[in-house]
Amino acid sequence: MNQRSRLLAHALMRVLALALGCVFAATASAGQITVSAAASLQDAMRAIGGAFESAHPGVKVDFNFAASGLLLAQIAHGAPADVFASADRQTMDRAQAQHLIAPATRADFASNTLVLVSPRSRAAPFQALADLRRADVRRIALGTPASVPAGHYAQAALERAGLWAGLAPKFVYADNVRQTLNYVSRGEVDAGFVYRTDAGADAATVRIDFTVPGAGVVHYPIARVAASRDAPDADAFIAFVTGAQGRALLAAHGFTPP
């Protein structure tokens, strides 16, 4: 390619980039927001998104569901997002420390509990965490503690009970809490740590054995992403989630008030 051709190609690329920038700007101003939310919020958030769109004609809500730690990493690397909803305060604290959210918009909007679940195909439920040490228990599913809050809560509870190190060879790590639930539902593991709301979504094949002692209350915070291209609609969505209609939909999916 000669010098003139390179200059022409460079000019065309600049024109194309400018055109694409205009398209993205137009899309952002057309009332479309992206909500990055913890995997355990899937069912409730989809219901909330539909109700919000009905109450705000012209505004479209897209969702990105994954483990809270993975969502934070995506936002930190520039992935488009307008609202971030985490399954724990610690991940939101990290987002705030990295200046990735607008602190004034942050609010706790729901709570949950960690439970031990097992396949209904098993003869009997577990009675205590110490039961997981039995020889017939070979595989225990939990989210990767470094990125999945449910896994972090499970690790903390098992460490308090003095069981973490001894059970380590049995652990099967999942990318998010819904994957943990799927392992249990398909009978691929003997037990798993999930949120009560997730277990309720698959009650036909999964039973709740008990609430995990020492795990405490799981708090869900929400905030506008600092780099949001549609702050007014993002703020409106947060207000909807934390308002009466959002709270009612969260309760219908098993979540408790913050």
Summarize pLDDT for 140-156 with one digit per residue, the tens. Answer: 999 999 999 999 999 99
Q: Are residues 137 and 178 in the same domain?
A: yes
Summarize pLDDT for 165-190 with one digit per residue, the tens. Answer: 999 999 999 999 999 999 999 999 99
Q: Are residues 102 and 227 in the same domain?
A: yes
Q: Are residues 161 and 38 in the same domain?
A: no
Return the number of other C-beta atoms located less than 10 Å from residue 206's C-beta: 25
Q: Residue 127's beta-bridge partner residues?
A: none
In a domain, 258, yes or no: no
Would you say residue 240 has pLDDT above 90? Answer: yes
Q: Are residues 245 and 210 in the same domain?
A: no
How far is Cα 65 from Cα 56, in angstroms, rounded to an integer? 22
How far is Cα 255 from Cα 47, in angstroms, rounded to an integer? 13
Token digits of residue 119: 């396949």
Q: Residue 225's beta-bridge partner residues?
A: 101
Summarize pLDDT for 71-128 with one digit per residue, the tens. Answer: 999 999 999 999 999 999 999 999 999 999 999 999 999 999 999 999 999 888 999 9
How far is Cα 34 from Cα 39, in angstroms, rounded to an integer? 15
Q: What CATH number does the domain containing 182 carry? A: 3.40.190.10
Q: Are residues 9 and 49 in the same domain?
A: yes
Q: Are residues 124 and 102 in the same domain?
A: no
In a domain, 181, yes or no: yes
Positive/negative CA dihedral, 123, 124, 125, 130: negative
Summarize pLDDT for 21-46 with one digit per residue, the tens. Answer: 333 333 444 589 999 999 999 999 99
In a domain, 234, yes or no: yes
Q: Are residues 129 and 85 in the same domain?
A: no
Return the number of other C-beta atoms located less than 10 Å from residue 51's C-beta: 16
In a domain, 103, yes or no: yes
Q: How many domains does the chain have?
A: 2
Would you say residue 242 has pLDDT above 90? Answer: yes
Q: Are residues 183 and 59 in the same domain?
A: no
- Residue 126 is predicted with a pLDDT of 96
Q: Are residues 40 and 123 in the same domain?
A: no
| pTM of the predicted structure, to 2 decimals | 0.82
Q: Are residues 95 and 160 in the same domain?
A: no
In a domain, 257, yes or no: no
The residue behind tokens 């909807």 is 240
Q: Are residues 93 and 62 in the same domain?
A: yes
Token digits of residue 55: 């109450």
Q: Are residues 192 and 238 in the same domain?
A: no
Residue 168 has φ and ψ, to the nearest 5°, of -50, -40
Give the relative orientation of helices 42-55 and 231-242 as an angle to the nearest 10 degrees: 120
DSSP state of 162: T
Per DSSP, the three-state class of 177 is helix
Q: Give the domain extent around 141.
A: 112-217
